[in-house]
Structure formats: structure tokens, C-alpha cells
A and B are shown apart, each in its own frame.
Chain A
């Protein structure tokens, strides 16, 4: 059994509800889909139980009524487990900073660019948008279009 298949088996053994939701895409790439309610226990097992100590990043996705989140985890030896979950827009998700103190920056990105609400994030400056960015504007949402300058419209040139 490859390392990826081993991890797949370990996940399925631990969590019956993951049946059919754990895929080995290729060597070193496992994909897991889990609902929001059960995300925390799967995440905890991967990090604390299976040694996935590298949170590469968190990808936000606009999925219509929901926001999707993919937590890209890796461990020594290079195996990656990509854990996909989602949450209705406007609802809170929990921070993973207790596991990954450096991971707060990825959660701030989700807040700025998708309007995600992350509960439990320690105080800190926003990222990556400027302080005077208008409230409620989240550029990576599919229906967001830039307004005014910065959209390629050239302002009047200075002399």
C-alpha cells in the first residue's frame, strides 16, 4: 500500500462517516471532503494523530450559497492531505490558529477576500486589503466587480 493509501485507510478506519469521501488522486495527494460539523475532529486527527504539521495554506472558494474552504496539509516526507469543507455565507467558521499560530494570515485572507467570518482569530491587522477598502466588498466573490479607478480605466493624466 502506498503512503497515500495508508492514510486513506487510517482515516476511514477512524471515521465511518468519511466512507466515499476520501480519495487518493495520485502519489502524495489525498483529498477529503467533510461537512462543517465534523471538520474539527478530522482536522484534529490529521494534525495530532497523523503528523500533518505543515499547513501550506487555506484556499477559499465561492460556491454560490456557500463558501468553500480547502485546508492544504502536508507532513514530513511530502504527503499532502487536502481537506475540503464548506459553510453557508455569513456563518462563522472556527480558527485553526490553536494548531497553527502562523495560519492566522490565511484566515485573514479569507475574511478580506471572501467575507468569511473566522471566530477566535487573535487581534491583528487585516490582510491583504488596504485599511480604507470599503466595507462589504470582497473581491474574490464571483459576482464582485471593481468600481471606479483601478479597473484599468485611466484617470486624467497629470501634466
Chain B
């Protein structure tokens, strides 16, 4: 998809494609992200789709407090996502380190490594909170902030 198409789609805000990345989370938020996509919660009705590669995604949804080992990969994946892009920190750990804040092998949140556009709190973030967070992000993008 060329840059022109991307900007058109981004401008339409109709179907952000998400890449999900775990930076050392306990897995609870990761499960809830996937649960948000199952029929009970159905994040897909907002056009949000989970995609496997950075090249085709618009939003990077990250869980976890960023362990030192995973940090280079997180940064590299972020760099490989073409503009325009946004990062969502899902869960308390991704937001601020959460319960792992201060432990010797964690950075303390996604924004310690890459810029974050939206934070979804919770331990774990519930599927409802995740959907709410994504909808708010979409509205913000629509308003051109």
C-alpha cells in the first residue's frame, strides 16, 4: 500500500490495523487484547484488525513494562512501522511499569522506549477498557490531534 493510500485510510479512521507486541508482560493483557477481538466483545466491528507485520499496521498495541532484553526489538519494530502511526500502551505495566516498577530488568513502561499516544490502564486492562481506549484513540485521530 503506498503512502497516498495510507494517508487516505488514516484520514478515514475507519479501520486501523493493529500489531500487538508483548514487552515482558505477564500475558494477562495480551489475552484480554485477543479476547477483545472475539465475538463477545468484538473490537472488529470498529474495523480494528490484528495484523502480523509492522509494514501493514497503523497502531502498535504494546503490553508489558519493557524488559531490557526486549527493548531493542520494540524500538526496531516501531521504526519499521511507516507513518502515520500511533502507539497504545495497554495495561498498568505498559503505562508505568505497574507492579514491576523498579525491578532491575524492566525499563518501566512503553514510553521509556518509544513515544506513546494513548494509555489504557488496568491490571489487566479489561476488554471493555481496551475497546474504550481504541475508540477514544480513533476519535482523537479523527479530530486531527
Contact = CB atoms under 8 A, between A and B. Distances in A.
B112 A152 contact: no
The contact size tier of chain B is 10 to 19
A129 B105 contact: yes
Interface residues of A, number: 14
Interface string B58-73: 0000000001110000
16 contacts: A129-B69, A130-B67, A130-B68, A146-B104, A149-B107, A149-B108, A149-B112, A150-B68, A150-B104, A151-B102, A152-B108, A154-B108, A154-B112, A155-B112, A158-B114, A158-B115
A151 B103 CA distance: 6
Nearest to B87: A158
B102 A152 contact: yes
Nearest to A147: B104
Nearest to B105: A150
Contacts of B121: none
Interface of B: 67-69, 97, 101-109, 111-112, 114-116
The 3 residue pairs across chains A and B that have the minimum distance between CB atoms:
A152-B102, A158-B115, A130-B69
A59 B116 CA distance: 39
A26 interface: no
Contacts of A133: 68
A61 B33 CA distance: 38
Contacts of A150: 68, 103-108
Nearest to B68: A130
A87 B101 CA distance: 33
A119 B86 CA distance: 49
Interface string A123-159: 0000001100100000100000010011110110111
Given A130-B68, A130-B69, A151 B104 contact: yes
A139 B107 contact: no
Contacts of B69: 129-130
Contact of A139 (B67, B104, B111): B104
Given A146-B104, A150-B105, A158 B111 contact: yes
Interface centre among B101, B111, B112 (most CB of A within 10 A): B112
A145 to B, nearest CB: 9
Nearest to B103: A150
Nearest to B97: A152
Nearest to B114: A158
Contacts of B68: 130, 133, 150
Contacts of A130: 67-69, 105
Nearest to B65: A150
Contacts of A159: 115
